[in-house]
């Protein structure tokens, strides 16, 4: 196994992923502690050392991945995501770029690429983007129509909420999120008692229809992602089983090929008829005709008819001569 293959295997082990996850969590905790003046005053040096050490580990990890995977490193979007986050952390934070220090917390987002469950959720969200774009367009159209109507109907009654089109858009967006929508409605209803019809219909359409469509699209995308992963796992399992079956068949063929060769080289085969043969020997059969070599007939296999039939007469003849 080459060095690259060993490194690739190491990077894919669960133990390595757990170590990287622990480092990300510790680094995120230290960056959170840096927001406390008391913690910085007491443990400022230790927090800085931990932060730099975590950054060096992340850089080393990316370097090892780049060496082990080669050009395939750039084909994985999660690798590019990790590289972008680490690159932001490597930017200088002195002078006018000191605001970039706040971007170091983006390293906590690396948990998305490390934890498989988070990775599946983000993948499902990205997969649902085409379907969500249509819903966003529908929601924007509903908001625009309602904002124009609200501005024309209530700009004199509640100018702080419906004074112009941008203000009405913001007010309706606030109401769509459920923030103080009843207070705004009651304030308008003081002069327009029938205004509840407009606001209730708007809330029903936006909150209970359009926003639920977002949830439906995301859930559908997550189900499709789960189905694809199940199919891939089943396919990989089937490939593994087929590979093992092919290996077993190859071993059986090798054993079958070796059996005839072993029989042909056995000292007691039918080819030479030597003693200890398990079948009738050809030389023993010839000796049976003369009756002079009973031992050759005895060289036949277990309970062989030719061998036993020849040996008995030969023994009687010898016994008769002796008598």
Q: Is residue 258 domain-resident?
A: no
Report the Cα–Cα distance between both ends of the chain, in Å, rounded: 81
Entry pTM: 0.56
pLDDT digits (tens, 9 = 90+) for 182-227: 899 999 999 999 999 999 999 988 888 887 888 888 888 777 776 7
CATH number of the CATH domain containing 210: 1.10.287.70
Which residue's entry shows tokens 């039939």? 309
Residues 174 and 218 in one domain: yes
Within-domain flag for 71: yes
In this structure, the number of other CB atoms found within 10 A of the CB of residue 170 comes to 13
Q: Is the pLDDT of residue 179 over 60?
A: yes
- The answer to whether the CB of 107 falls within 8 A of the CB of 84 is no
Residues 159 and 190 grouped into a single domain: yes
Number of domains in the chain: 2
Residue pLDDT, tens place only, 87-120: 888 877 655 555 667 777 888 888 888 888 888 8
- Report d(CA 288, CA 291) in Å as an integer: 5
**HEC letters along 4-71:** HHHHHHHHCCHHHHHHHHHHHHHHHHHHHHCCCHHHHHHHHHHHHHHHHHHHHHHHHHHHHHHHHHHH
């Amino acid at each position: 196994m080459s060095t690259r293959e060993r490194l690739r295997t190491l990077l894919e082990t669960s133990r390595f992923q757990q170590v990287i996850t622990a480092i990300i969590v510790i680094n995120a905790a230290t960056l959170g502690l840096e927001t406390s003046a008391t913690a910085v005053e007491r443990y400022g040096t230790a927090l800085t050392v931990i932060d730099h050490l975590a950054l060096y580990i992340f850089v080393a990890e990316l370097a090892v991945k780049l060496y082990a995977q080669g050009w395939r490193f750039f084909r994985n979007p999660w690798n590019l995501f990790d590289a972008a986050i680490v690159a932001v952390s490597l930017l200088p934070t002195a002078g006018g770029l000191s605001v970039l220090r706040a971007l170091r917390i983006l390293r906590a987002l690396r948990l998305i690429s490390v934890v498989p469950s988070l990775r599946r959720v983000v993948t499902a969200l990205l997969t649902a983007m085409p379907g969500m774009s249509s819903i966003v367009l529908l929601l924007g159209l509903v908001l625009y129509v309602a904002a124009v109507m609200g501005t024309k109907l209530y700009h004199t009654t509640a100018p702080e909420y419906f004074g112009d089109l941008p203000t009405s858009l913001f007010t309706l967006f606030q109401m769509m999120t459920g923030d103080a929508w009843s207070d705004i409605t009651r304030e308008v209803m003081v002069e327009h008692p029938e205004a509840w019809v407009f606001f209730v219909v708007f809330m029903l359409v936006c909150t209970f229809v359009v926003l639920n469509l977002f949830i439906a699209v995301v859930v559908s995308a997550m189900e499709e992602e789960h189905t694809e992963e199940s199919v891939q796992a089943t396919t990989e399992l089937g490939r593994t089983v087929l590979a093992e079956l092919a290996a077993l068949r190859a071993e059986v063929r090798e054993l079958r090929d070796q059996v005839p060769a072993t029989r042909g080289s056995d000292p007691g085969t039918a080819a030479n008829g030597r003693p200890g043969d398990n079948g009738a020997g050809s030389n023993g059969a010839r000796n049976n005709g003369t009756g002079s070599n009973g031992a050759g007939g005895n060289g036949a296999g277990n309970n062989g008819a030719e061998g036993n039939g020849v040996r008995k007469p030969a023994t009687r003849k010898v016994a008769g001569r002796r008598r």
